[in-house]
Amino acid sequence: MTFTPAFRSLRFAIVALASVAFAGHAHATKIERVVSPGGIEAWLVRDSSVPLISLEFAVKGGANQDPAVKPGVGYFTAGMLDEGAGDLDSSAFQQRLERNAIELRFRSQRDEFYGSVRVLTERKDEAFELLRMSLTAPRFDAEPLERVRAQMMTALNRETTSPNDIASRLWWRTAFPNHPYGQPLNGTLESVPLITADDLRDYTRRVITRERLTVAVVGDIDPETLKTTLDKIFGSLPAKGDLRPSEPAVMADAGKSVFVDLDVPQAVVTFGGPGIARKDPDFIAAFIVNHILGGGSFSSRLYKEVREKRGLAYSIYTYLLPLNYTALIQGGTATRSDRVNETQTLIHAEIKRLAEEGPTADELEKSKSYLKGSYALNFDTSTKIASQLVQIQLDSLGMDYIDRRNGLIEAVTLADVKRVAKRLLDGGMLFTVVGRAAKKEGG
C-alpha cells in the first residue's frame, strides 16, 4: 500500500494526538462493559479529549488452526482481508482506507486471530463499515492473492539466510515436533504455494465467528453508539466456529543444544524451556523471577554477566510466553562465533545459580519497583490500551486487574520467588545456535 503525503501527515497527527492524550492512563482507566442488543460484549474506555477511536478484537484460533500440510493459512488470511471485500476490489478498498486515513490491520498469532482499526471520530462509520466488509465478505481475488503470496515467498526466501529466523524456526520445530506450535506462523517455501483461496475462505468461516470474540474500544465513542456499532460490525458473523481440537503441547528436548553452521559474523543463540501458565498462582512470582534473570534489559543477571562483565553480547533477554496449550520461558542473544561456547556456558550457569539460590532481597525489591512503575507505559496510547484490554479478557483476569496488578506484585515474598525460581528454571533449556563453524556438541 502506498500512502500519499497528505495521508502520512494525517496519520502522524493521529499518533501525536493519541500519545499526548493517553499518557499516564494506567491509573485513570475507567472500563465500562458494553453489551449490544445482539449480545456482543466489549470493554470500553471513553476519552473525548482526542477525536480518535481505536478498536481491537481477537477470536480464538490462530495459526494452530492451519492445516497440518499447509502452515501459513492464517497468516495468509490476515494479509488478504484488506485486499478487497464486498463490491470493492483491492484497489478500491485500499483507496477508501487511504482517503479516510483509516488504519486497518489483521494478524494471526499462535492461538488467536487479531484485528484492529484506528480512525478519527468523524470517519468512524466508514472505518467500521470497511472492517465489517473485510470480515464478512472478503473477496480473495486472484491478483491480490498472487501478489500477497509473492510477498510471503520473498520474505521466506530471505529468512533462509537470516540466523535469527533460522534459530527461531529450529527452536520451535525441535521443541514441538508433533504439535501446531512446531509449525512456522508464516508458512514454509513448500506450503505457501499450495494455499488456495478456498483455504482462506475455509479458515475465515471456521475461525472468525462470534462464539469466541473478544473486543475492546478506546476513545471518542459513547456506550449507546458502540452497542449499535458492535452489531453492525460483528452481528452477521457465524454464531459458532468449527475449530480443530488441539492437544496440550509437551516440550521436547529440554537440556539439548542444536547447532547450524552458517557463515555470518555473529552467531545467534535462542533458548527456552517450560514456563508457568498465566492462570497459575505462581505466575506473578515467575514474572518477577524472569525480570531478574533476563527481563530487565539493563539490570538483569544475564545482562550484567554476559555484556557488562565480559562484553560477549550487545543484548541478552528472556521473557515469559504463556500460550493456550503450553507455557514457556524464552530468551536469546548474539555473540561472536568463537565465543558461543563461553556464552552458552555462562547462560547455563546463571540459570542454575538463580534456580538453586533464588533472588536476593535487593533484587526482589528493585524488580517490584520497576515492574509497578513501568506498567503505565502500556497505556500511553489508545492502541496500547485497547490491546491491553483484549489481552486481559483473553487471560480471564477480570475488569479490575489493572487496579489489582501492583498489589499482586507487592504481595510476592522472598520465599515465593526463591521457590518459584527453582520451579521455573530447574527444567532445563533447549538451545538452538546458528553461526559460523558451530560445533555439534550435545548436552
Convert the pLDDT of each residue in 15-27 to its tens digit.
Answer: 444 443 444 444 4
Give 243's DSSP letter.
Answer: P
In a domain, 250, yes or no: no
Convert the pLDDT of each residue in 126-177 to its tens digit.
Answer: 999 999 999 999 999 999 999 999 999 999 999 999 999 999 999 999 999 9
Q: Is the same domain home to 225 and 302?
A: no
Cell of 197: 483461496
Q: Is the same domain home to 228 and 268?
A: no
In a domain, 22, yes or no: yes
Convert the pLDDT of each residue in 242-260 to its tens digit.
Answer: 999 989 999 999 999 999 9
Convert the pLDDT of each residue in 67-124 to its tens digit.
Answer: 999 999 999 999 999 999 999 999 999 999 999 999 999 999 999 999 999 999 999 9
Q: Is the same domain home to 305 and 210?
A: no
Instruction: Output the pLDDT for position 28.
Output: 56
- Pick from 234, 266, 299: which residue ends a domain? 234
Convert the pLDDT of each residue in 363-414 to its tens digit.
Answer: 999 999 999 999 999 999 999 999 999 999 999 999 999 999 999 999 999 9
In a domain, 442, yes or no: no
Q: Is the same domain home to 221 and 362?
A: no
Span 31-38, average pLDDT: 98
Instruction: Output the pLDDT for position 3.
Output: 38
In a domain, 279, yes or no: yes
Q: Are 174 and 166 in contact (CB under 8 A)?
A: no
Q: Is the same domain home to 328 and 389?
A: yes
In a domain, 246, yes or no: no
Q: Is the same domain home to 162 and 280?
A: no
Convert the pLDDT of each residue in 281-294 to its tens digit.
Answer: 999 999 999 999 99
Q: Is the same domain home to 229 and 294?
A: no
Q: Are 424 and 286 in contact (CB under 8 A)?
A: yes
Residue 13 has pLDDT above 70, yes or no: no
Residue 4 has pLDDT above 70, yes or no: no
Alpha carbon dihedral 277, 278, 283, 288, in 10-degree steps, equals 110
426-429: long-range contacts (C-beta < 8 A, 24 or more apart)? 426/355, 427/254, 427/273, 427/274, 428/254, 428/255, 428/273, 429/254, 429/255, 429/271, 429/272, 429/273, 429/347, 429/348, 429/351
Convert the pLDDT of each residue in 112-121 to its tens digit.
Answer: 999 999 999 9
* Cα–Cα distance for residue pair 39/35, rounded to 1 Å: 6
Q: Is the same domain home to 182 and 35?
A: yes
- State which residues form the domain around 320: 257-435
Residue 2 has pLDDT above 70, yes or no: no
Q: Is the same domain home to 202 and 335?
A: no
Q: Is the same domain home to 204 and 281?
A: no
Any idea what the CATH number is for the domain that residue 130 is in? 3.30.830.10
Instruction: Output the pLDDT for position 8.
Output: 42
| Per-residue confidence band for 49, with pLDDT thresholds at 50, 70 and 90 | very high
User: Which of 425, 13, 436, 21 is closest to 218 using CA atoms?
Assistant: 21
Amino acid found at 12? F
In a domain, 325, yes or no: yes
In a domain, 285, yes or no: yes
Q: Is the same domain home to 139 and 283?
A: no
User: Which of 129, 104, 100 is closest to 115 using CA atoms?
Assistant: 104
Q: Is the same domain home to 209 and 328?
A: no
User: Which of 182, 222, 303 is closest to 47 using CA atoms?
Assistant: 222
Residue 14 has pLDDT above 60, yes or no: no
- Pick from 234, 265, 298: which residue ends a domain? 234
Instruction: Output the pLDDT for position 437.
Output: 64
Convert the pLDDT of each residue in 177-210 to its tens digit.
Answer: 999 999 999 999 999 999 999 999 999 999 999 9
Residues 6+ positions from 178 with CB-CB distance below 8 Å: none
Query: How many domains does the chain fold into?
Result: 2
Give every strand in the sheet of 327-336, ordered side by side: 257-261, 430-435, 266-274, 327-336, 316-322
Instruction: Output the pLDDT for position 298.
Output: 85
